[in-house]
Amino acid sequence: MQTVVRGLPSVYDIEHLTRLFFPGAAILSKRQRGKDAVIAHLGKKRMLAGICLDGICNWETAPLPTKETPEYALSALVYSLLCKVTGRRPLWGMLTGVRPVRIIHDGRAKGMTEEQIEQLFCGHYDVSKEKYALAKSIADLQAPWMQAEERDYSLYIGIPFCPSRCSYCSFVSRTIEKEKKLVQPYVDCLCKELEEIKRIAQQNRLNLKTIYIGGGTPTSLSAQQLRQLMGTVRELFDLSKIEEYTVEAGRPDCTDLEKLQVLKEYGATRISINPQTLSDDVLQRIGRNHTAQDVIRCFEEARQVGHANINMDLIAGLPGDTPEGFLQTLQKVIQLEPENITVHTLTLKRASNLVIEQRQEEYGDVAQMVESCALLAEKGYNPYYLYRQKGTLQNLENTGWSKPGYEGLYNIYIMEEVHTILSAGAGGSTKMRQQKGNLIQRIFNYKYPKEYIDGFDTVLKRKEGVTEFYASHVDSQTLG
């Protein structure tokens, strides 16, 4: 499928709308005759949407809008025609953004009524009642954490190493055995970057709320390297004053009893043990070098050493999985009684080893798998954060569920862009937020471990942008 857009300054919305119905559709400047195409044209007096599929062309035209923006009006015309021709209506309607819950928060902040917000979701964007209800319940639960102070921040620490690369993975991560010589220099640099972040945070009078060590797989580090890193964190930051300290211990093939004890000893208050599935066959298909029983062993050892807040990640739509198989995994995980269960829908990206063109044919009924998560509500879990990604099977969502009082606060803060996130490590993206003007700026670290190590002086120099941001956009307002 090709997508041809004329008359708009940006093709972004039409491009991603088309991909809701035809994954992998390519944007072209000119239509190739005889091939399937979606056509969107904004003229001087009218707009046109067309779909040519299997030799049959359907067209719709409309006058230029008087109330809506031309971008929205043309997108809505294309969307309506796509629904009509394909016979499909996506559960999230026209929404292609990552943060649907944020629309509710922003609407409330602007003084919109609940009825107006619902009309925006279900009328303007054509979101299903079911998905709107999910987003609203999450927004209601998140409300107490949405009012951050201007100088609040969270700290993210990235470990871009894993014991093996999963077939669906698109993160910046390297196999620990192949990159072994880089690991210690990387940890050394990371500790130095944390020292610089501490200095900058003090200089700008910032208040640390949460810490998150993610990856990759942080427990792919040795126990001694974990002690070095977490010991540095403990020395630099007052852990008694933070709300949450999460460490991903996601892979049982590199997380043993000693490492779980290190995490507990050095202050982690929340950990993640991520099976993705409890089917040995599916685990093998996605390149995991462990069994379902290894996951259960890891979970039991975590409880043994005193971890009282554990998250477990699952993925709906993995190759070879079925709705029945996913439900069995979900039931087994619920029996373990973790405090958090996060359910992701499989997302296929170019950086992964799975091929996007195969996604609709190869990955079963993922919507039925996601629907089975209603069982979580029956067992006392509440949905507390949600985000979406481009390239996700059937345009579905990723949802975090928790027992009351165990919501993952870092997840809320980063996904709803509540406050600044200072990021350390390869691939890190520092995101600075000014509350009053709702302004966001970013500073990026080098993407890969070797780049990060070799360019470490530049990494530290870029961090000066944090002070520049607060001087320009926060202190100036305070003084004014």
What mean pLDDT is predicted for residues 258-272? 98
What mean pLDDT is predicted for residues 318-327? 94
Interatomic CA distance for residues 469 and 50, integer angstroms:
46
pLDDT at residue number 224: 98
Q: CB neighbours of 24 closer than 8 A, spacing ≥ 6?
A: 1, 356, 357
What mean pLDDT is predicted for residues 225-235? 98
Specify burial of residue 254 (Cβ count, 10 A radius: 0-12, 13-18, 19+). buried
pLDDT at residue number 361: 45
pLDDT at residue number 169: 58
Confidence of residue 176 (pLDDT cuts 50, 70, 90): low
Residue that the structure tokens 């009053």 belong to? 436
Residue that the structure tokens 């005759």 belong to? 33
What structural domains does the chain harbor? 2-86 (3.30.160), 100-143 (no CATH), 144-424 (3.80.30.20)
Is-contact 344 314, C-beta < 8 A?
yes
Q: Does pLDDT of 349 surpass 80?
A: no
pLDDT at residue number 259: 98
Interatomic CA distance for residues 450 and 453, integer angstroms:
5
Q: Does pLDDT of 363 surpass 60?
A: no
Interatomic CA distance for residues 41 and 59, integer angstroms:
11
Q: Does pLDDT of 459 surpass 90?
A: yes
Question: Per the structure block, which two tokens stand in for 70?
Answer: 């031309």
Percent of the chain predicted with pLDDT > 90: 79
What mean pLDDT is predicted for residues 387-395? 86
Q: CB neighbours of 373 closer than 8 A, spacing ≥ 6?
A: 330, 343, 399, 401
What mean pLDDT is predicted for residues 34-55? 93
pLDDT at residue number 236: 98
Q: Rounded to 5 degrees, what are φ and ψ at 59?
A: -130, 145
pLDDT at residue number 260: 98
**110-169, pLDDT tens digit by residue?**
999 999 999 999 999 999 999 999 999 999 999 999 988 999 999 999 999 987 655 555
Q: Does pLDDT of 99 surpass 50?
A: yes
Confidence of residue 175 (pLDDT cuts 50, 70, 90): low
Percent of the chain predicted with pLDDT > 70: 92
What mean pLDDT is predicted for residues 441-446? 97
Amino acid at position 115, single letter: E
Question: Per the structure block, which two tokens stand in for 74?
Answer: 């043309």
pLDDT at residue number 353: 46
pLDDT at residue number 177: 61
Is-contact 257 249, C-beta < 8 A?
no
| Three-class SS state of 92 | coil
pLDDT at residue number 382: 98
pLDDT at residue number 163: 74
pLDDT at residue number 289: 83
pTM (2 d.p.): 0.91
DSSP string over 126-193: ---HHHHHHHHHHHHHHGGGS---TTEEEEEEEE-EESS--TT--SS-EETTTTHHHHHHHHHHHHHH
Specify burial of residue 321 (Cβ count, 10 A radius: 0-12, 13-18, 19+). buried
83 to 22, 80, 86, 243, 274: CA distances (angstroms): 12, 5, 5, 45, 37
Q: Does pLDDT of 210 surpass 50?
A: yes
Q: Rounded to 5 degrees, what are φ and ψ at 425?
A: 110, 170
Confidence of residue 480 (pLDDT cuts 50, 70, 90): very low
Peptide bond into 216 cis (omega under 30): yes
Interatomic CA distance for residues 480 and 471, integer angstroms:
12
pLDDT at residue number 479: 42
Confidence of residue 358 (pLDDT cuts 50, 70, 90): very low
Distance of CA 277 to the CA centre of its chain: 19
Q: What is the 3-state secondary structure (H, E, C) of 354-366?
A: CCHHHHHHHCCCH
Average per-residue pLDDT for the chain: 91
Interatomic CA distance for residues 426 and 431, integer angstroms:
15
What mean pLDDT is predicted for residues 326-335? 97
Q: Does pLDDT of 436 surpass 90?
A: no
Question: Per the structure block, which two tokens stand in for 92?
Answer: 């999230």
Q: What is the 3-state secondary structure (H, E, C) of 278-304?
A: CCHHHHHHCCCCCCHHHHHHHHHHHHH
pLDDT at residue number 39: 95
Question: Per the structure block, which two tokens stand in for 276?
Answer: 């993705």
Is-contact 193 228, C-beta < 8 A?
no
Measure the CA dihedral 469/472/476/478, to 10°: -10
pLDDT at residue number 167: 57
